[in-house]
């Protein structure tokens, strides 16, 4: 079967707000750079286009319709995946594997600074009968998107006329982190070290927006938001767009590019019942199993040289590493403290700065992670370059309140 290669990547700068550009111009920048990187003309060479977006984040009904112009897809096969960027990569992967398409472009972005009520959109993703009523309307986040706690409900919808304080939907992270710490013996300090590491890594990533030189104490002293989650444990939201161009191996050779291979991907969703589903990122476990099998990876810890895992909250990085089979339960924090997750360690993790350092870019998360892996495997990562990396893993989670995740495996050699 066709091997699938990455032949081009492009991205915008990542910024907490981008009032200078419309979302269309933002997408255009990322895609144009990717096409130039691949050395192709999208109007002739790209067979199919995919955007990954969620209508409520965008503020448009049927966002799909607004996509073609800025990605070069006017009057061409084009579709939107309502999911993370890696879901889009997976779709493109299949289109190429079938032999139907030779070159497919995938774009994902976050223009979350246009969304004034991020918390309300998150809440709107809760089950309307059972789970939404116990949460509630929330204050507008500021432009950096840091969530606020509670606000007075404007008027109770059903039931008593008494005004009640309502909770921010991010409390779910508090529940899960509490569970994770207890189950694995990981401490809050160890989670704080994830924040320190990622924000430090972000200094070496020119497009990251939340780089900072902070100490563990700074994280520990930051306010509790949803105990045990503190304000610095949360990845602040960011605007950013990424485009990746995939091609069949044959086409990549014709174009004369030095490809990185997309050798496996997997995706999975858990039950939406928040109170009964697992709290150990089972979605990552299943998605990784699928991806490992496809890429022929038997011993992930030994075979994988670099990983980018979802760190929308600090503990998520450790939890995901364990779910991906890269550490035993409770071992991720030890690896972190031993320096193994550093750029120079044996399992470099989130060298881009992760979402804690780059910013939470919503549905673009998977592509931001993939972008970093491809950049590293190409040897283009500059000061943060991990030497001799051959196999990299990108993993994403669709964020609260979802139980959906995806994994992509990239390799230097075709498999």
Partner 1 sequence: MAKKQAMPKSAPGTHVSTKDIVNKKIAYTWWEPEVQYSWSVGPAMSRFLEELKNGKIVGRKCRKCRRVIVPPRMFCEHCYGPTDEWVYLKDTGSVETYSISYLDADARRIKEPILVGVVSIDGASPKHGFMHYFGGMKPEELHIGMKVKAVWKPKEEREGSIRDIIYFEPVKKGGRKK
Residue range at the interface with partner 1 (CB under 8 A); choices 110-118, 163-171, 182-190, 201-209: 110-118
The verdict on 137 binding partner 1 (CB under 8 A) reads: yes
Residue range at the interface with partner 1 (CB under 8 A); choices 25-33, 268-276, 379-387, 403-411: 25-33
Counting other chains too, the contacts that 25-29 makes at CB distance below 8 Å and 24 or more residues apart are: 25/70, 26/109, 26/111, 26/239, 26/241, 27/51, 27/67, 27/70, 27/71, 27/107, 27/109, 27/241, 27/243, 28/70, 28/71, 29/241
219 token code pair: 């994280």
3-state secondary structure of 125: coil
> From the list 21, 144, 167, 216, which residue makes contact with partner 1 (rule: CB under 8 A)?
21
Q: Are 208 and 353 in contact (CB under 8 A)?
A: yes
The verdict on 115 binding partner 1 (CB under 8 A) reads: yes
Burial of 303: CB neighbours in 10 Å, binned 0-12, 13-18, 19+: middle
> From the list 16, 51, 70, 186, which residue makes contact with partner 1 (rule: CB under 8 A)?
70
- Closer CB to partner 1, 17 or 220, in the complex: 17
> From the list 140, 227, 293, 380, which residue makes contact with partner 1 (rule: CB under 8 A)?
140
The verdict on 36 binding partner 1 (CB under 8 A) reads: no
| 401 cis-preceded (ω within 30 degrees of 0) | yes
- How many residues touch partner 1 under the rule CB under 8 A: the total is 40
- What is the torsion angle, in degrees rounded to the nearest 10, for the CA atoms of residue 64, residue 69, residue 70 and residue 72? 110
CA 112/CA 239 separation, integer angstroms = 6
The verdict on 147 binding partner 1 (CB under 8 A) reads: no
The verdict on 159 binding partner 1 (CB under 8 A) reads: no
C-beta of 162: minimal distance to partner 1 in Å?
Answer: 18
- Closer CB to partner 1, 25 or 338, in the complex: 25
Kindly list the residues in this chain that would bind partner 1 in the complex (CB under 8 A): 18-25, 28, 32, 35, 41-43, 56, 59, 68-70, 72, 74, 111, 113-117, 120-121, 123-124, 128-129, 132-133, 137, 140, 154, 157-158
């Amino acid at each position: 079967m066709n091997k699938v290669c990455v032949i081009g990547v492009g991205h915008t700068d990542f910024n907490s707000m981008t009032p200078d550009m419309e979302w269309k111009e933002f997408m255009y920048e990322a895609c144009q750079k990717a096409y130039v990187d691949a050395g192709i003309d999208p109007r002739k060479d790209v067979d199919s286009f995919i955007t990954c977006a969620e209508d409520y984040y965008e503020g448009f009904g049927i966002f799909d319709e607004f996509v073609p112009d800025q990605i070069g897809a006017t009057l061409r096969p084009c579709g939107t995946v309502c999911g993370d960027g890696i879901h889009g990569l997976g779709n493109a992967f299949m289109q190429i594997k079938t032999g139907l398409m030779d070159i497919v472009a995938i774009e994902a972005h976050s223009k979350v600074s246009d969304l004034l009520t991020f918390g309300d959109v998150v809440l709107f993703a809760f089950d309307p009968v059972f789970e939404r009523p116990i949460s509630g309307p929330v204050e507008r986040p500021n432009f950096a998107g840091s969530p606020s706690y509670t606000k007075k409900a404007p008027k109770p919808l059903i039931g008593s006329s008494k005004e009640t304080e309502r909770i921010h939907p991010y409390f779910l992270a508090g529940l899960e982190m509490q569970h994770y710490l207890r189950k694995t013996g990981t401490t809050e300090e160890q989670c704080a070290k994830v924040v320190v590491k990622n924000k430090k890594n972000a200094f070496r990533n020119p497009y990251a927006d939340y780089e900072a030189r902070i100490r563990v104490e700074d994280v520990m002293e930051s306010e509790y938001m949803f105990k045990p989650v503190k304000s610095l444990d949360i990845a602040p939201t960011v605007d950013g767009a990424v485009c990746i161009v995939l091609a069949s191996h044959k086409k990549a050779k014709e174009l004369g590019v030095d490809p990185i291979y997309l050798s496996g991907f997997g995706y999975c969703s858990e039950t939406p019942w928040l109170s009964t589903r697992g709290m150990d990122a089972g979605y990552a476990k299943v998605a990784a199993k699928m991806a490992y099998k496809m890429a022929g990876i038997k011993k992930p810890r030994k075979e994988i040289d670099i990983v980018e895992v979802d760190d929308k909250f600090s503990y998520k990085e450790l939890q995901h590493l364990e779910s991906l089979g890269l550490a035993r339960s409770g071992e991720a924090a030890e690896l972190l403290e031993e320096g193994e997750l550093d750029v120079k360690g044996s399992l470099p993790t989130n060298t881009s700065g992760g979402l804690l350092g780059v910013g939470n870019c919503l549905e673009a998360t998977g592509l931001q992670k993939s972008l970093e892996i491809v950049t590293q495997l190409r040897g283009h990562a500059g000061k943060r370059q991990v030497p001799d990396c051959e196999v990299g893993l990108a993993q994403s989670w669709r964020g609260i309140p979802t139980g959906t995740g995806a994994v992509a495996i990239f390799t230097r050699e075709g498999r």
